[in-house]
A and B are shown apart, each in its own frame.
Chain A
Amino acid sequence: MSFIAPNFRHPEQGANGLGLRRSDYEGALSTLCAGCGHDSVSAAIVQACFEMDVEPHRVGKFSGIGCSSKTPNYFLNHSHGFNSVHGRMPSVATGAILGNRDLLYIGISGDGDTASIGMGQFIHAARRNLDMLYLVENNGCYGLTKGQDSATADLGSVSKTGVATELYGLDLCALALQSGASLVGRSFSGDKSQLVQLLKTAIAHRGFAFLDVISPCVTFNNTPASTKSYDYAREHIDVAGALDFVPHQSAIEIDYAEGEVQKVHLHDGSELLLEKVGKDAGALDDKTAALAAMNRAQDAGRMLTGLLYLDTELPDLHTVNRTVATPLNQLGQDELFPGLDALEQINAEQS
């Protein structure tokens, strides 16, 4: 960890559309190990929120337990945050989202927090298509308890313990896809430009946006034979197609040849331009094609990153519930109390 917060600010760095500076989106000083992938993810979140003019105080940050779950403290200082209990972040986020549909919700979890103790809640958050960004900082190990394998450690991968993983590693993107998540993407904490594009897309999306971010653990799982190391990730990544996120205020300036690009409209009015790769690439909302592409990459010993799946039509939980537009936490006694006449009527029915 570092002990000194840098005061240096780039002179060219100005204010965003809200008149806020990048520093208005930062958090407390990180206590993670120097070089931890998670700090890059926090920096990417700061950048995405800053560039998208997100109002910091209109964000709710959630996490469970573990190194990853400490990070909501390291970005968006003006947001309320909730560091809950191990593996249970999705349920706490669900309740909060039900209580106020107007905030932007960001959940940060790890592979230990999500793929083992929290698997049930994760799957069900996806199934309900909760309107939130759910990001897993995936390093294949339990950092905070000193490097035990997690359930996403790949078969044969060797961490600092020196013992090769003997069990099959879970693929959280495939699970999210199968469980009803409406946006699924994978990235690498070392590829900030792709990660920022994905984050912006996820923030603009209404529904469960799941991002699996390979985020190496420099202390316990950055070994030569680990499949979650910086070197391995850099050498084995295939990008599913370059993304260009266009915020709703901006005009599209880039010219693409017809057929090379898929254009997707997002809920907040933004547009997404996605480069089509390979002649067998399916439409973004083709689940079968997405799974096949992920499986093909895995069979070839590669890791497919980028936006893997997007369905902008799938209704989120509030839409399914037909909740009123006013956030439930803004309704007062006037709107919630059914009145004494109704009570008298109910008493009469029971007598």
Chain B
Amino acid sequence: MTAPLSAVNEFVVCIANVNGTGSASANALFAKAVFAGGVPVAPKNIFPSNIQGLPTWFEVRISEAGHLGRRGDIDIMVGVNAQSLEADYAQVRPGGYFLYDSTKQLPQHFAREDITHYGVPLTALSADHFSDMRQRQLLSNTVYVGALAALFGMDLDRIKGQLARQFAGKERLIDANALALDLGHDYVRQHYGSDSCGLKIRELEPASERILMTGNSALGLGAVYAGATVMAWYPITPSTSVAEAFEAYCRRLRRTEDGEKRYAVIQAEDELAALGMVIGANWNGARGFTATSGPGISLMNEFFGLAYFAEVPAVVVNVQRAGPSTGMPTRTQQSDVLLSAYASHGDTKHPLLFPSDPAECFTAMADAFDLADRAQTPVLVMVDLDLGMNEYLSAPLAWPEGRSYDRGKVLDADALENLSERYGRYLDVDGDGIAWRTWPGSHPDKGAFFTRGTSRDRYAAYTERSEAYSDNMERLLRKWETIKTLVPEATLEHGDGEAEIGLICYGTSLLSTLEAVRGFDVPIDVLRLRAFPFSPNVGEFIARHRTVMLIEQNRDAQMRTLLVNELEIAPGLIHPVLHYDGMPIPANTIAEQMQRILRRTGIQVLDKEDVAA
């Protein structure tokens, strides 16, 4: 018999439910109540491409130590979906716990002896106390939150306080949910006592101020703060909520007293048109952006080339999902790296930013707009479904005092009036590959030019002369060198830089990577990429480490390809650590692959569990 698991503030809860039953608010209530008690939490909503009926899971990592990536296994499962019950049951770790709806009896073969079972009649309790059919279903979800609170020894008033926040203004809902919480809580107390479960949540005094927010909300708000006025988009999971957040925050922060808007949000006819609108707005001097996912980036390829070649700023948020084609539209991946870096035909490349949490998402939008304006080129902000749609624990959003918008090289009416030499739109007067642009309507007879995707000379006049074409393409390369000095540097996230083993990761792979590293008993350095093109310290890091691994969430090691290509590194120097099943990358997957690589490369390492054994 396996001993029941015992842990305080270090475990994983999973709630297996049916899509469309309204479980989202009950699940959020639980996660936010844990967070409100000062305990670090990472909720992940694993949902189907469906409105009603398919299985959905809500996985909550609770970790006082701050391990907020996916761990990869489940300590306690709430199984309320008959379709997936068998598999959900099997997933519980030995020594773990299984809470189920005992209104109906569990099938006989659900008889694991290595886990503890809690039957709570969720449906019956709800049916006994609520008359409305829809409400019964919704509130049976809240009943399991009450039951969990009793098992974990949580303060019920803390959850009720959160309830009041979540349903502010809807008093009737608050009362009904509070009753449902009590029903679950009291049932568990009466039937299982208060000490039967070894998993406990103990409230903490948080060391620093933290927020819980989705990446998409932070991106939308970031665009508001960055001065975006035009947003064009086409609905696509998982990026839709960026547009929704931008519009909601604009409605709150960007309207005049008369209700007039200092912004425009257009739901376009497709992603292609969305980027076209963004290009038109930026060409005219208004900051515009769009948000999409892989399929949208595929469609936008033509326009990426235009913006690159005609040198029009544009900001595109790519919330990546599992491809190719429609792939798994509600699952996460980092699989658009190459597509985004080299989008469009001909020789093109685009700067990419890789934020890792909501605070960075917020800042990345300001950085992206400044970079797009400064370099007059499209910039992509790369996140994924995991960060975009899940609530992430993060430092508060911050805007440095006095930071102002960098609109780049723009000649206004006065500058044009005082211009002594002939204006050339593509004339590299400063030697950094970036020429001065003008906004339409600025000056009666100076500065007008014709923007085009065809070859032109330095004065924007159409030409098919080979020298003029090459001259322009080479200037664009000079500009790329300038861009390298403008993007955020890669950061050392762990170690002192002197280890033999070096890991590289980016975006949402960071948290699980850091957790995996802490299980090893040898020095390991972790470098996090924050942008493409790569800062000089990336090449240095690779050169300095005997064994280099790159952790990413795609099948083909796309970032590795990009590094090999751009830094001219031998491919064998970087060992890929990959995860691509559509779920956020778990720490144990990383650790296992690291072990294999280290064994293969002849480095003797024991991880800490082996040492203990």
Contacts and interface: CB of A to CB of B under 8 A. Distances in A.
A81 B264 contact: no
Contacts of B263: 328
A100 B229 CA distance: 11
Contact of A324 (B256, B269, B285): B256
Nearest to A121: B273
B277 A92 contact: yes
Contacts of A97: 280
Instruction: Give chain A's interface residue range (CB within 8 Å of chain B).
Output: 35 or more
Given A82-B280, A85-B303, A337-B225, 9 more contacts: A73-B462, A80-B449, A81-B450, A85-B306, A91-B280, A96-B283, A335-B262, A336-B254, A340-B399
Contacts of B275: 91
Interface string B295-309: 000000011001000
B211 interface: yes
B215 to A, nearest CB: 12
A130 to B, nearest CB: 10
B173 interface: no
Contacts of B438: 80
Given A92-B279, A93-B280, A342-B253, A329 B270 contact: no
A342 B211 CA distance: 15
List 7 A-B pairs, minimum CB-CB distance, nearest first: A95-B280, A91-B276, A99-B286, A95-B277, A80-B440, A99-B284, A329-B285
A60 B440 contact: yes
B280 A336 contact: no
B259 A322 contact: yes
Nearest to A351: B211
A72 interface: yes
Chain A interface, >50% SS class: helix
A347 B397 contact: yes
24 contacts: A57-B444, A73-B450, A84-B276, A84-B453, A85-B302, A88-B276, A92-B277, A94-B277, A98-B229, A98-B264, A98-B280, A98-B281, A99-B280, A99-B284, A99-B288, A100-B441, A103-B441, A121-B269, A321-B264, A328-B229, A329-B439, A335-B262, A343-B399, A347-B397
A347 B211 contact: yes
A88 B272 contact: yes
B448 A78 contact: yes
Output the residue of A58, A79, A327, A336 with the most chain B CB within 10 A: A336
A14 interface: no
Contact of B441 (A58, A121, A335, A338): A58
B396 interface: yes
Nearest to A326: B262
A332 to B, nearest CB: 8
A80 to B, nearest CB: 4
Contacts of B453: 83-85
Contacts of A336: 227, 229, 254, 262
Nearest to A100: B284
B169 to A, nearest CB: 14
Contacts of B414: none
B239 to A, nearest CB: 18
A100 B306 contact: no
Contacts of A250: none
Output the residue of A90, A322, A346 with the most chain B CB within 10 A: A346
Interface string B461-479: 0100000000000000000
Contact of A57 (B253, B268, B448): B448
A347 B396 contact: yes
Nearest to B232: A95
A350 B209 CA distance: 11
Nearest to A76: B448
A328 B441 contact: no
Interface string B396-423: 1111010011000000000000000000
B225 A57 contact: no
A55 interface: yes
A323 B404 CA distance: 24
A206 to B, nearest CB: 17
A160 interface: no
Contacts of A120: 269-270, 273
A302 interface: no
Interface in A296-351: 318, 321-325, 327-329, 331, 333, 335-338, 340, 342-343, 346-347, 350-351
Contacts of B77: none
Contact of A88 (B211, B253, B284, B303): B303
Contacts of A99: 229-230, 280-286, 288
Contacts of B253: 338, 342
A328 B230 contact: yes
Contacts of B249: 338
Output the residue of B256, B441, B443 with the most chain A CB within 10 A: B441
A328 B283 contact: no
Contacts of B221: 346
A92 B276 contact: yes
A261 B232 CA distance: 43
B205 to A, nearest CB: 14
Interface string A62-81: 00000000001100011111
Nearest to B265: A321
Interface in A191-207: none
A286 interface: no
A124 B273 CA distance: 10
B214 to A, nearest CB: 10
Nearest to B302: A85
B445 interface: yes
Nearest to A103: B441
Contacts of A351: 209-212, 396
A123 B266 CA distance: 15
B451 interface: yes
B266 A343 contact: no
Contacts of A322: 259-261
Contacts of B274: 91
Nearest to B35: A351
Output the residue of A55, A121, A324 with the most chain B CB within 10 A: A324
Given A57-B444, A92-B280, A95-B283, A343 B306 contact: no
B442 interface: yes
